[in-house]
């Protein structure tokens, strides 16, 4: 069992892979404290009291109450509550029927079980009885009769602990939750760096690393989705940790709505990390007997640097989060018409693209925005999910059948969560959009957000989608979401539950996605949000891939995909070869290089294949072959970073090594040509020292140790934006 209660020491020991996580129960008042999270340790006596510093004056939880506040404010609490003296970030905020905000939790009981129970209505990692063990700790506020059930799962073979909390009102009066975070971890020491992913539209998930220092560093979103700006991920790394060495703790919230992560450097050389739903725009009413479930936080421990953390996240998400039947399969190579035609297309144009594409080996046509209502620009028709037969003459079925006849699959774009003011849906139901009565709601991209918390609205939209998807042989859906939530008001919720809208909204999105993937299990669902504004583990539970960014420029993508892949597997990263000059940044890069960069993702095309230069088109069959040759390795292998263009401003390099270490693919991109510079030596990673590998391009053989420690020389590249693949197989 990965989790045990060591009764003589009054502690819970959670062992996950090479990591241990230890929770102590303190004195007769039953405080639940954090003892340790780090490299796996043996069971023999653990100095939990001394590690939690509960005997050090003045921080003793003495019965006479004399220095109680000093205790609360320094104690490494597993789930700190607001209002009693812990002045750091807390997890739980309440408003009781008397208008008070304080609560205090005591340990009551525990249960250890094999496997992992699902979380009510929420996406979460999963595992069977052999994969993981779960600990449920019941805590209670005896005055309020408020129960908090802390859930911990330890994965047997991965350095992963997941956490969540269920909060139940067992009393007789209503209680409102004003803050209900999912985890708190107090680490000793303050010599840490904080790593997070930041950006903007077309510039998502750039890595930021800063010293922790003292005070709070918050990474959060109140946009109703994570947004382009932040990702629900934060890592705390030893300040000298590198890609390959040192201790790193990664935290990722399995949630697609408003999130909050805070790293606080506190007064006595300690770090507190909390994560969960953003308390801004959150208030949840618990009537007697009701309960609330907080989303899951995945906590990864690595003593092998950032790269070790990355590979653990990848393994976990590939095996224990993504449910889609496409998870372990090569995805069809698709061609999407967005950058090819934007709104200006009809059946003939799409078929012309499909004909050419299929002759080159492309396997699916995806029809993007513009096929429904009267949508010829982004001014109208969201919500009217009815085929525009003026554009699609002969209807959707005819188009799909013709595409199928070419041997290609067919995919379609939806933006189910939105409504245009100029739409039949809005004219019939203006009250169905999120807005505050009497206040003009703000438009973004000319659209409002539908109040999906209202089941009638969600059902109406889903029924329209279902009709379209049942009408023809559609095997892929791109589910888009192109504006944040504002003007939070729901006609459906009573005043005392308006604060629940943001969370209820995302629960409704999850429910719709669940219905979609249950009713159409053969459909490959790709999530998207104005590019990559909703790239989070919650989405991956429903669809195995997410459109990474609207910026398809190969050079910008190096940075965007590098940041994304710090947490998310390459198999989840939507990446396409597009036309040049690039539509977002006007840069021209070689077609070959665009292929190498897209290869480190799902791989596909986003261009008018009937219009691109002949020499580019000729390269497509080669790229298709390349994809089929390497995708199994890229989708399932271990990912290693060799060099970051964002750091060195010259070149980028990464590699993927098969789990059995018999095969590896190195990608090297020379972003800028350096004058008076002949070649560059890079050192490979992750190979087996004693295996001899053969470079399939040059035919040369070399030992793993030589490739990793002496390195290889990259030669023969001349000019900017040039790339190279090196494929190694064990001899």
**Interface residues toward ligand GLA, by CB under 6 A:** 338, 368-369, 413, 480, 482, 528, 530-531, 547, 550
547 Cα distance to chain centroid: 12
Distance CA 421, CA 441 (A): 11
Strands of the 701-703 sheet, one edge to the other: 638-643, 651-657, 663-670, 722-730, 692-695, 701-703
Write down the catalytic residue from 315, 369, 480, 644.
480
Residue 141 · residue 105 · CB < 8 Å? yes
Reported as type and span, the H/E element at residue 585 is: none
Buried b (16+ CB within 10 A) or exposed e, 33-62: bbbbbbeeeeeeebebbebbbbeeeebbbe
List of residues 6+ apart from 281 with CB closer than 8 A? 222, 258, 488, 499, 501, 502
In the block, tokens 């989790």 appear at: 3
290: its two tokens = 């009701």
List of residues 6+ apart from 63 with CB closer than 8 A? none
Taking Cα atoms as reference points, which of 572, 500, 499, 504 lies closest to residue 532? 572
Distance CA 465, CA 453 (A): 18
Q: Known catalytic residue: 536? A: no
Reported as type and span, the H/E element at residue 293 is: strand 291-293
Distance CA 557, CA 234 (A): 21
Write down the catalytic residue from 550, 579, 608, 652.
550
Query: What residue spans of 361-487 are helical by DSSP H?
Result: 395-405, 424-428, 455-471
Pairing status of strand 175-188 against strand 106-114: unpaired
Angle at 207 between CA 202 and CA 213, to 5 degrees: 135
Q: Where are the beta strands (DSSP E) in 352-498?
A: 364-367, 409-414, 418-419, 448-449, 476-479
Residue 566 · residue 582 · CB < 8 Å? no
Residue 618 · residue 612 · CB < 8 Å? no
Nearer to ligand GLA, 482 or 602 (CB): 482
Nearer to ligand GLA, 259 or 547 (CB): 547
Least gap, CB of 461 to ligand GLA (angstroms): 17
Taking Cα atoms as reference points, which of 484, 336, 471, 481 lies closest to residue 414? 481
Q: Known catalytic residue: 550? A: yes
394: its two tokens = 């002969």
Rounding to the nearest 10 degrees, give the CA dihedral for residues 220, 224, 229, 234. 40
The residues carrying an active-site annotation are: 480, 550
């Amino acid at each position: 069992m990965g989790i045990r209660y060591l009764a003589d020491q009054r502690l819970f020991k959670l062992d996950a892979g090479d990591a241990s996580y230890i929770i102590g129960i303190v004195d007769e008042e039953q405080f639940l404290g954090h003892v340790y999270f780090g490299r796996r340790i043996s069971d023999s006596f653990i100095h939990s009291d001394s590690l939690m510093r509960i005997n050090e004056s003045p921080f003793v939880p003495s019965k006479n109450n004399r220095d109680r506040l000093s205790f609360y404010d320094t104690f490494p609490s597993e789930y700190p509550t607001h209002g009693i003296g812990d002045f750091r970030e807390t997890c739980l905020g309440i408003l009781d029927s008397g208008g008070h905000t304080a609560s205090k939790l005591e340990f009551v009981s525990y249960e250890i079980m094999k496997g992992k129970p699902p979380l009510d209505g929420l996406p979460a990692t999963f595992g069977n009885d052999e994969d993981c063990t779960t600990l449920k700790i019941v805590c209670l506020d005896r005055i309020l009769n408020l129960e908090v059930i802390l859930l911990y799962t330890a994965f047997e073979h991965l350095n992963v602990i997941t956490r969540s909390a269920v909060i139940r009102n067992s009393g007789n009066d209503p209680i409102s939750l004003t803050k209900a975070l999912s985890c708190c971890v107090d680490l000793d020491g303050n010599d840490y760096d904080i790593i997070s992913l930041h950006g903007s539209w077309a510039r998502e998930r750039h890595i930021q690393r800063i010293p922790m220092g003292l005070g709070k560093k918050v990474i959060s979103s109140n946009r109703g989705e994570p947004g382009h700006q932040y990702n629900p991920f934060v890592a705390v790394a030893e300040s000298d940790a590198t890609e390959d060495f040192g201790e790193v703790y990664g935290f990722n919230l399995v949630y697609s709505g408003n999130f909050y992560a805070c790293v606080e450097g506190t007064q006595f050389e300690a770090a507190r990390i909390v994560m969960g739903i953003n308390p801004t725009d959150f208030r949840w009413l618990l009537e007697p007997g009701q309960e609330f479930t907080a989303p899951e936080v995945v906590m990864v421990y690595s003593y092998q640097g950032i790269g070790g953390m990355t590979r653990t996240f990848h393994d976990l998400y590939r095996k224990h989060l993504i449910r889609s039947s496409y998870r372990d399969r090569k995805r069809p190579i698709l061609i999407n018409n967005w950058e090819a035609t934007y709104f200006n297309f009809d059946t003939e144009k799409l078929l012309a693209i499909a004909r050419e594409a299929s002759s080159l080996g492309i396997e699916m046509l995806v029809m993007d925005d513009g096929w429904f209502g009267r949508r010829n620009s982004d001014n109208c028709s969201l919500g009217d999910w009815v085929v525009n037969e003026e554009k699609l003459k002969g209807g959707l079925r005819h188009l799909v059948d013709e595409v199928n006849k070419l041997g290609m699959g067919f995919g379609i774009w939806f933006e189910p969560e939105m409504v245009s003011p100029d739409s039949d849906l809005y004219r019939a139901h203006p009250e169905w959009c999120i807005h505050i009565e009497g206040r003009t709601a703000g438009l973004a991209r000319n659209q409002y957000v539908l109040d999906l918390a209202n089941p009638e609205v969600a059902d109406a939209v889903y029924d329209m989608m279902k009709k379209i998807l049942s009408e023809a042989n559609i095997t892929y859906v791109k589910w888009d979401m192109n504006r944040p939530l504002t003007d939070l008001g729901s006609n459906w919720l009573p005043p005392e539950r308006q604060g629940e809208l943001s969370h209820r909204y995302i629960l409704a999105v999850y429910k719709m996605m669940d219905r979609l993937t249950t009713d159409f299990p053969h459909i490959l669902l790709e999530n998207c949000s104005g590019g990559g504004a909703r790239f989070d583990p919650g989405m991956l539970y429903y669809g195995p891939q997410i459109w990474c960014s609207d910026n398809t420029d190969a050079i910008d993508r190096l940075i965007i995909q590098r940041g994304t892949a710090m947490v998310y597997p390459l198999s989840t990263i939507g990446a396409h070869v597009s036309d040049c000059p690039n539509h977002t940044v006007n840069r021209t890069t070689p077609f070959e290089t665009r292929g190498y960069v897209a290869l480190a993702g799902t791989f596909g095309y986003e261009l008018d294949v009937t219009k691109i230069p002949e020499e580019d088109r000729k390269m497509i069959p080669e790229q298709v072959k390349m994809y089929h040759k390497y995708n199994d390795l890229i989708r399932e292998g271990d990912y290693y970073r060799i060099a970051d263009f964002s750091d060195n401003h010259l070149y980028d390099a990464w590699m993927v090594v098969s789990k059995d270490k018999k095969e590896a693919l190195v990608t090297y991109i020379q972003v800028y040509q350096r004058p008076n510079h002949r070649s560059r030596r890079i050192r490979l990673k992750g190979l087996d020292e004693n295996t001899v590998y053969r470079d399939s391009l040059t035919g040369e053989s070399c030992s793993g140790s030589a490739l990793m420690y002496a390195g290889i020389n990259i030669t023969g590249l001349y000019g900017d934006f040039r790339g190279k693949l090196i494929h190694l197989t064990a001899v």
